[in-house]
């Protein structure tokens, strides 16, 4: 498959067809792992969610009951 490399400002971009992303299991993902291997750009499904563990950590902090407001102007 050939795709066009486009210029946006100082960056380059490619548009990946949705069926291609679906075949790679990336069609419903917002984050992916990008690497450079043996002269190729490789895009992979991320092993973990960006916010993995955040909910559990927030519950653990809340259960301690000692939260303080760091920026009083926001309270």
Average per-residue pLDDT for the chain: 83
**What residue numbers bound the domain in which 42 lies?**
24-59
Say if 69 falls within a structural domain.
no
Q: What is the count of structural domains for the chain?
A: 1
Output the DSSP codes for the chain.
---PPEEETTEEE----HHHHHHTT-TT-S-EEEEEETTEEEEEE-SS-TTTTHHHHHHHHHHHT----S-GGG-
Say if 32 falls within a structural domain.
yes
Say if 11 falls within a structural domain.
no
Spans of the chain below 70 pLDDT:
48-50, 66-75
pLDDT at 6: 95
CA 35 to chain centre: 14
Say if 41 falls within a structural domain.
yes
The pLDDT tens digits for 14-34 are 999 999 999 988 988 888 899
Q: What is the pTM of this model?
A: 0.53
């Amino acid at each position: 498959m050939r795709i066009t490399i486009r210029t946006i400002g100082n960056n380059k971009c490619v548009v990946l067809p949705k069926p291609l992303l679906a075949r790679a299991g990336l069609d419903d993902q917002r984050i992916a792992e990008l690497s450079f291997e043996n002269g190729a750009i490789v895009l992979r499904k991320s092993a973990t969610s960006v916010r993995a563990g955040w909910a559990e950590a927030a519950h653990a902090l809340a259960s301690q009951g000692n939260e303080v407001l760091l920026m009083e102007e926001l309270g």
